[in-house]
Amino acid sequence: MNPTVLQKLRREIGILQKEPWLMALAVWLPPLLFALFWWIFSAGSSFDLPIAVVDLDRSNLSRALVRQCDASSMMAVDQQFASVVEGRRALTGGDVYALMVIPKNLASDTIKGLSPQPTVFYNGQFILIGKQINGAMQQAVGLLSAQVGGLQAMAAGTAAPAVVGQVAPVRGQITALFNKHTNYAEFLVSGGIPAIWQILIIAVTVLSLASEKRHGGLRQWAGKNPVQALMTKLAPYTIIFWLQGILFLVGMYGWLGWPMNGSWLVMFFVQLLTVLACQAMGSLFFLLGMDEARGLSLAAAYAAPGFAFMGVTFPATDMGLPALVWRPLMPVTHYIEIQIHQANYGGNILDLWPSIASLLLFVLPMLLALFQLRRFSSKSGEVAVT
């Protein structure tokens, strides 16, 4: 290896040691954030979510329905109100996650065979919680309806064994594909950590390049070979973030025991491509304006929607046009597609070629960043050192 390259690598390590904030973002803060994000969702499933009830009927049947909801492991009847206005205030204020309104004449309409329907309100912005409450509520109402139907059939003279066959002739079992235990941590954490990882890589790339303005100036750093200067500048951070990617991958699918049906080597290779793609975008953001604040602002606006747009918590097919245009511009979108494919399905690497090719296309912003750096280094004068 060229001695000049070795000297630049040693110099970069020295700069990293002199910059506490850069050291934190690059070395010890990412593992801490990864661990914190996992700890937040480590429970794996929701239970005793607080709901409110407005019982307008106040009959034995309505009270039985309230007890049935409270008996569910997913929900807990936290408050009961006399009016819908009070219940709505609790729901919009965030005191409860859902509001069930039991209609008036529930018992009498049931006896008449009119099938009255309780109304449930919940905040659809909480996609996961709303889905779980909706499912638990349907189960509670359905179970009570089966019990009432059975009692009515027995009162009409039907034998008990026949009632069981009428009320529940078929028992079904719903098993989620690739997530048998319905552990929401498996898809939230496995998607959230790469999104955080992308933000950190881009931000550190901007900050590392900005540090050259405080250590001799950008033109002196670029010298006569700006390509070599940029590559040696980014090389230590490439290794650091690649090792961090391997760390969280092994932690999720090794230590936590989540299923990995694909190739570990493929995932490690794709992680390296993702790191390089993120560094390409970070380099471009800084070198377009040669300004730290502007580069970080561009990085934040670019990478912040990563978790929302990658298609883990919300299907990409239902996204609007701006999200559909934005999501393929981020490396983490293509990475998460490969991670999900390998973890759940396994399969051949040829099936991953469209996503891998998309990551390889991020060489274009890197070439644009190198062109900008070369043009800057060839000019006379110097940017003021801050």
Whichever domain contains 103, its CATH number is 3.40.1710.10
Residue 197 sits in the same domain as residue 325: yes
Task: Based on the fold, state whether residues 120 and 34 are members of the same structural domain.
Answer: no
Residue 385 lies in a domain: no
Question: What was the pLDDT predicted at 160?
Answer: 45
Residue 36 sits in the same domain as residue 88? no
Q: pLDDT category, 44, cuts 50, 70, 90?
A: low
Average pLDDT over residues 255-277: 92
Residue 386 has pLDDT above 50, yes or no: no
Q: What is the C-alpha separation between 370 and 279, in angstroms, rounded?
A: 12
Report the pLDDT averaged over residues 46-59. 85
Q: Which of 75-79, 328-332, 343-347 has the lowest mean pLDDT?
A: 343-347
Count of domains forming the chain = 2
Predicted TM-score (pTM) of this structure: 0.77
Q: Pick the last residue of a domain from 108, 132, 167.
A: 167
207 and 155 in a common domain:
no
DSSP code of residue 211: G
Query: Which of 109, 138, 167 is the endpoint of a domain?
Result: 167
**Neighbour count for residue 131 (Cβ, 10 Å):** 13
**Which residue, among 117, 100, 21, has the nearest Cα to 53 in the 3D structure?**
100
The DSSP line for 98-159 is: EEEEEPTTHHHHHHTT-----EEEE-TTSHHHHHHHHHHHHHHHHHHHHHHHHHHHHHTT--
- Looking at every residue in the chain, the average pLDDT score rounds to 82
Q: Within a domain: residue 178? A: no
Q: Does 321 share its domain with 228?
A: yes
pLDDT at residue 169 tops 50: no
Q: Which of 124-133, 325-334, 362-371 has the lowest mean pLDDT?
A: 124-133
Same domain for 338 and 209, yes or no, is: yes
Whether residues 30 and 79 share a domain: the answer is: no
Specify whether 319 is located in the same domain as 198.
yes
- Whether 53 and 31 share a structural domain: no
pLDDT digits over 345-373, tens only?
A: 887 788 889 999 999 999 999 999 999 99
Average pLDDT over every residue of 136-165:
59
The domain in which residue 88 lies consists of 49-167
Per-residue pLDDT band for 385 (boundaries 50, 70, 90) equals very low
Separation of alpha carbons 76 and 305, rounded Å: 33
In this prediction, residue 176 carries a pLDDT of 57
Task: Give tens-digit pLDDT for 211-242.
Answer: 888 777 778 887 778 888 899 899 999 999 99
Tell me: do 37 and 97 sit in the same domain.
no
In a domain, 174, yes or no: no
- Comparing 314 with 29, which gets the higher pLDDT? 29
- Per-residue pLDDT at 19: 86
Of 132, 130, 134, which is closest to residue 142 (Cα–Cα)? 134
Cα maximum dimension of the chain: 100
